[in-house]
Structure 1
Amino acid sequence: MNKKFLLVMLVLSFIVAAFYAYLGGFSSASVSEVNSEQLYVAGRAFNGSVNDSGINDAFRRAAEVLDKKELEGMLGNIYYNNPEGRGDSVKAFIGVVIPDSTVQLPADYELRVVPGGRRALRADVNAHYMLAPNRLYEAIFDYAKEQNLELETFYVEWFPEDHRGIVEVPIKE
């Protein structure tokens, strides 16, 4: 009985580790200093508790907009406070990064433009969008600390593929 239990646990552990690896759980983010690019984000504003169902609704709506082909683009968000240190409150704009400002938006969406040409840190990781943010922000903050850089409180993240995430944060001048 003990040998069977150990064998089953070993197999289950292997399956969990393989799935975690498939999602990019063992991937590390790369960070570079860049000139930020201009982005167009169509979405909905959210200001409130991270436990509020409204934030989940906004994320679900963004996925629905892409699934139903209401917009062409990729999932993307703007955070106006530190997503890692936000505690219980977040101020965000959640939606879809779109190719240009001439696109017809869904009725419940608005457009925000992220200005380009600013000195910024960009982190990139090959991991599923559920795992990517933790890796990206940790890498950005570690790099900024090592390089003695002060960052603005403006975070843009986008997910060009299911297993890839990018975060850009302007550097204070």
Structure 2
Amino acid sequence: MNRIFLILSLFLIVAVGVAYYFVGGFKQAEVKLETTAQPIFLAGSYYEGAGNSEAFGDLTRKAYEIRSSGKLRGTFGNIFYNDPATSSEAAKVFVGLIVDDTVSQQLPAGYRYRVFPAGQRVLHARIEASYLVAPGKLYSGVKDQAKQNSLALQNLYLERFPNTGPVEVWAVVK
């Protein structure tokens, strides 16, 4: 009986390890200090409140629904106006889609534009991983790089979650 539990436990540990590998859990984020060359436009809605609330989840689902239905072409993204690590208590975030420009598409009802301006010094982090593990890897990479290079973060972050390709975060440096 104990042998069966041991074999099942080992199998479960291996299965979890393999799954973690396939979602990119063992990868590290690539982080570079750079200056944004062009503005990045987002279409979406602003949210301020608990990051784990139903209202925040509704805005995220709405952005995915708008993109999936074809009402707006873009890549899912957010602009955090505070540290995302503390956003579960008090998030200040613009939730929506990164779009190519502000004139080629009509905005859905309730959506507005926001711009992540060009010419900002940022730590740009990228990783080929699932959205399930990518944010933790990206933010830890950004914070480690900032600490190693004695850079102060401004608590302004842009997240980009494409369907394919690397997940990215731009963290503005003071």
For structure 1, list consecutive stretches of 5 or more residues without a partner in the other structure: none
Q: Relative to structure 2, which stretch is displaced further, 9-18 or 149-158? A: 9-18
Q: Relative to structure 2, which stretch is displaced further, 139-148 or 99-108? A: 99-108
Query: Could you give the per-residue CA deviations for residues 76-116 of structure 1, whole angstroms, max 9, x where no partner exists?
Result: 00000111134510100011111111121111211111111
Q: Relative to structure 2, which stretch is displaced further, 101-110 or 157-166? A: 157-166
Q: Which has the higher helix share?
A: 2
Q: Secondary structure at the match of 2:154?
A: coil
Aligned to 1:45: 46
Q: Match of 1:35, as an amino acid?
A: T
Taking structure 1 as reference, are residues 71 and 155 closer, same or farther at Cα in structure 2, changes over 3 Å only?
A: same
Aligned to 1:112: 114
For structure 2, list consecutive stretches of 5 or more residues without a partner in the other structure: none
Aligned to 1:3: 3
Q: Relative to structure 2, which stretch is displaced further, 80-89 or 69-78? A: 80-89
Given that 1:20 and 1:26 are in contact with CA atoms closer than 8 Å, whether structure 2 keeps it comes out as: yes
Identity %: 36
Aligned to 1:144: 146
Aligned to 2:156: 154
Aligned to 2:58: 57
RMSD: 1.5
Instruction: Measure, in 2, the Cα distance between the counterparts of 1:125 and 1:20.
Output: 15
Counting matched residue pairs gives: 172
Q: Give the TM-score, by structure 2 length.
A: 0.92
Q: Give the TM-score, by structure 1 length.
A: 0.92
Given that 1:124 and 1:167 are in contact with CA atoms closer than 8 Å, whether structure 2 keeps it comes out as: yes
Aligned to 1:122: 124
Q: Match of 1:117, as an amino acid?
A: G
Q: Relative to structure 2, which stretch is displaced further, 53-62 or 11-20? A: 11-20
Q: Secondary structure at the match of 1:105?
A: coil
Instruction: Measure, in 1, the Cα distance between the counterparts of 2:23 and 2:73.
Output: 24
Instruction: Measure, in 2, the Cα distance between the counterparts of 1:104 and 1:113.
Output: 17
| CA positional deviation for 1:5 | 2.1
Q: Relative to structure 2, which stretch is displaced further, 156-165 or 119-128? A: 156-165
Taking structure 1 as reference, are residues 22 and 163 closer, same or farther at Cα in structure 2, changes over 3 Å only?
A: farther
Instruction: Measure, in 2, the Cα distance between the counterparts of 1:13 and 1:68.
Output: 39
Aligned to 1:18: 18
Deviant stretches of 4+, over 3 Å? none
Aligned to 1:27: 27
Instruction: Measure, in 2, the Cα distance between the counterparts of 1:101 and 1:109.
Output: 12
